[in-house]
A and B are shown apart, each in its own frame.
Chain A
Amino acid sequence: MKSHDKMHVSGEESVSAVLKYGDNSRRNGMALVIVLAFSTILLILGVVYLRTFSQSTHISGLQLDQIQAEFFARGMQNIATFKIKRYPDFFLRSYRYHVYQNRVNTGDSSVPPPLVPFTNPSPFQKFTGTYPGRTNDLLHHMHPTEDSTLGFTTPLKIATWSTTFNLRSAEDFNRAFIEIDVYVRMEGRDLVSQYRMSLDASQTRKIPGS
């Protein structure tokens, strides 16, 4: 008996046919159910695959930002080193005066008072380039208009950057380690990356007539 003929039977034959072939009505829709289940699995796999792919793209964007920030910071350190080499006396003396000023301001009685009252901004603040009233400097964040005129950071998208100087002295500042820190934050990121350069510097004095 073919399967489509089994509906023609009736009575006892019908019962025996059901017992023999099973209840076909239970099988109705099974193909759909299987296909839908299969499609759902495919859909889930596809979504997971796309999510993984989009995350890897995001990671490569972060890597690029890090590379750009690092090279930019290295460049700023070069410019900062150039400034120190160009004006070594200004850097060294303003830093020493800055240390002296801090000692006076903290009430250190072992240091004599200054010849004239301390100025604001201090010489060291002037060396670093930024102080209250002047927030725009090459070694710090530049105004976007000036930046685009000079084409300084183009084509990078840098939100902020700044440079700090430190001098770790030895032998009464005759020998020192200059630390130049550059802080960079790329546009659209919260993270501020810090890049440090250390220079070993020594000072020699030429005695006139020698």
Chain B
Amino acid sequence: MRQNSRLRAGISLIEIMLAFMILVTATFSAAGVISFGHRGTVADFRQVEAMQILVDRMNKLTNMHYASLDSFLTAAGGNEYTFNNDIEGIVLGDEVKIDKNTYRVHATLKRQPITFDSLMELDFPNPSYMPASPSTWLFKDRVSAAFNGVDNPYKVIKITVSVKPVGGMTDEREFAAVSYVADLES
């Protein structure tokens, strides 16, 4: 009877210790999950803000005229250049601060070679030709046109903006967008 009593008392102790260990493990795991989630939430917020910066910079750059963008490249001295300092009031840099967060915002401009193949034109002389009647029109092929800085001047600039949150608790990914501005003035 006494042995049984001691055994039961021992079981109670083991049970409490086991329960305590499980509780500690579960609590630490929960704390880890909450911490991970918190870091994720902060990273999510920075990613959303990074996307807003990306849209803002892209809008500003794509609304500029081809001639302005081309002049930046001429000043930089190349057909492709990555700008990490402000241009025309557009804030760029390795450490752009928005409230408490810091972002790396770069813009790359590139004179983009393009080619238009399979071009055609009206074939003349054509005695039957009547301007208002398509049935009288004859087409013929014409040579393709390359705007590559050799055959013809460049006419398209590719804009790439990249935004990356920096200085955070986690290494976050970089966001980038691409667009093109064509020379519609000349």
Residues 108-144 of B, flagged 1 when their CB comes within 8 A of A and 0 if not, give: 0010111111111110001010001111111100000
B184 cross-chain contacts in A, Cβ below 8 A: 78, 81-82, 85
Cα A67 to Cα B118 in complex, Å, equals 32
Of the candidates A34, A60, A71, A89, which one forms a contact with B179 in the assembled complex, judged by CB atoms under 8 Å apart?
A71
Q: Say whether B29 faces chain A, with CB atoms less than 8 Å apart.
A: yes
A10 cross-chain contacts in B, Cβ below 8 A: 1
How many of B's residues come within 8 Å of A, CB to CB? Answer: 73
Of the candidates B5, B20, B135, which one forms a contact with A8 in the assembled complex, judged by CB atoms under 8 Å apart?
B5
Q: Say whether B91 faces chain A, with CB atoms less than 8 Å apart.
A: no
Contact (Cβ within 8 A) A134 B181? no
Q: Say whether A74 faces chain B, with CB atoms less than 8 Å apart.
A: yes
Of the candidates A25, A82, A93, A151, which one forms a contact with B183 in the assembled complex, judged by CB atoms under 8 Å apart?
A82
Residues 53-96 of A, flagged 1 when their CB comes within 8 A of B and 0 if not, give: 10011001001100110011011101101110111011001101
Of the candidates B18, B51, B139, B183, which one forms a contact with A94 in the assembled complex, judged by CB atoms under 8 Å apart?
B139
Report the minimum CB–CB distance from B107 to chain A (whole Å): 13
Closest chain B residue to A45, Cβ basis: B30
Interface bin, chain A: 35 or more
Cα A41 to Cα B22 in complex, Å, equals 13
Contact (Cβ within 8 A) A39 B22? yes
Report the minimum CB–CB distance from B159 to chain A (whole Å): 8
Contact (Cβ within 8 A) A100 B134? yes
Q: Say whether B180 faces chain A, with CB atoms less than 8 Å apart.
A: yes
Report the minimum CB–CB distance from B154 to chain A (whole Å): 12
Residues of chain A from 99 to 132 with CB closer than 8 A to chain B in the complex: 99-100, 111-116, 119, 121, 123, 126-127, 129
Nearest first, the 7 closest Cβ-Cβ pairs linking A and B are: A75-B180, A82-B182, A7-B5, A75-B179, A39-B26, A100-B134, A46-B33
